[in-house]
Amino acid sequence: MTNEELAGQTEQEQSLAVAAEWVAAAKKIVVLTGAGISAESGIPTFRDAQTGFWAQYKPEDMASEKGYRTNPAMVWRWYEYRRELVAKVDPNAGHLALAEFEKRHPGAITLATQNVDGLHQRAGSSDVLCLHGDLNTQKWLDTPRDCCYIEHAQAGDPPSCDVCGNMLRPAVVWFGEALPYKVFGRAQDAASECDLMLVVGTAGAVYPAAGLANVAKRCGAKVVIVNPAPSGLDDVADLKIRGTAAAVLPRILAS
């Protein structure tokens, strides 16, 4: 795009045009998404979902091993409630733009998300790096024994092994837990090798996931922030686009 063409556009339009050019030129792109892209589909954030009956509980009660062991039935029902919320919404234009870009450019994009709702997968994205786990899957609370088979778990709140009593838990990252080692390692490798990173719909306050932007920047990649409000990663950005994922991604991923 020429300087004359850029001069005739608003600052927002210029930013979108520049980002689209960087996307078209990049050989390897990493996209890091956060709660903002899911909020556009109508999914409340973890804290925002604590309304009504659930407002009486602290987040730590719902998202820690200690809270789960203290009241497993209550916490299990909380995650069932959240799964019901997710099931009622659909991926939005931001999710779909990422999935469609991947189909047009196989191997060019690595998608890492802080979200646990599965909307990227439902939109059609494959091999999504779920940094904080997956709300729709379960794992054993304690190290499983030979008798522990998820498909044979005894029904209940929560389901449990009918032999040893080991409880299933949501396969999400709780307070005080490390991110999945292999998943986060792949995200770090991708960030260190990319030409461009798009940071979409995240306040940039939750580490270590937010640190992927710093990795990309140190390794020479351009970093674009897509968020309606200022974020904690704005200082890392080469370009900041103040807009929502659903409005911005279809435009900059059109190539």
**pLDDT value at residue 57:** 84
Rounded CA-CA distance 83/66 in Å is 22
**pLDDT value at residue 4:** 56
Give the model confidence (pLDDT) of 117-167 as tens digits: 999 999 999 999 999 999 999 999 999 999 999 999 999 999 999 999 999
pLDDT band (50, 70, 90) for residue 6: low
**pLDDT value at residue 214:** 97
171 backbone dihedrals φ, ψ, rounded to 5°: -85, 55
Q: What is the share, in percent, of the chain residues with pLDDT greater than 90?
A: 87
pLDDT band (50, 70, 90) for residue 58: confident
Residue 122's alpha-carbon distances to 171, 173, 186, 241, in angstroms, are 18, 21, 22, 26
Beta carbons within 8 Å of 90's beta carbon, 6+ residues apart:
41, 119, 122
What does pTM read for this prediction? 0.92
Report which of 178, 168, 179 is spatially closest to residue 68, judged by C-alpha positions.
Answer: 168
Mean pLDDT, residues 172-176 taken together: 95
Mean model confidence pLDDT for the chain: 94
Mean pLDDT, residues 88-113 taken together: 98
**pLDDT value at residue 55:** 78
Q: Which of 105, 120, 132, 152 is catalytic?
A: 132
**pLDDT value at residue 1:** 52
Mean pLDDT, residues 239-246 taken together: 97
**pLDDT value at residue 201:** 96
**pLDDT value at residue 44:** 80
Q: Annotated catalytic, 152?
A: no
**pLDDT value at residue 53:** 72
**pLDDT value at residue 213:** 97
Task: Examine the pLDDT at 52 and tell me if it is beyond 80.
Answer: no
- Least confident span in 37-46, 62-71, 72-81, 111-120: 37-46
What DSSP assignment string belongs to the chain?
Answer: --HHHHHTS-HHHHHHHHHHHHHHH-SSEEEEE-HHHHHTTTPPPTTTT--GGGGGS-HHHHSSHHHHHH-HHHHHHHHHHHHHHHHT----HHHHHHHHHHHHSTTSEEEEES--S-HHHHHT--S-EETTEEEEEEEESS---TT--GGGPBPSSS-B-TTT-PBEEEEEPPTTPPPPHHHHHHHHHHHHH-SEEEEES--S-STTTTHHHHHHHHTT-EEEEE-SS--TTGGG-SEEE-S-HHHHHHHHT--
Task: Examine the pLDDT at 7 and tell me if it is beyond 70.
Answer: no
- Least confident span in 6-10, 97-101, 104-108, 171-175: 6-10
Q: What is the share, in percent, of the chain residues with pLDDT greater than 70?
A: 96
Structure tokens at 128: 């999504």
109 backbone dihedrals φ, ψ, rounded to 5°: -130, 135
Task: Examine the pLDDT at 91 and tell me if it is beyond 70.
Answer: yes
Task: Examine the pLDDT at 2 and tell me if it is beyond 70.
Answer: no
pLDDT band (50, 70, 90) for residue 5: low
Task: Examine the pLDDT at 8 and tell me if it is beyond 90.
Answer: no
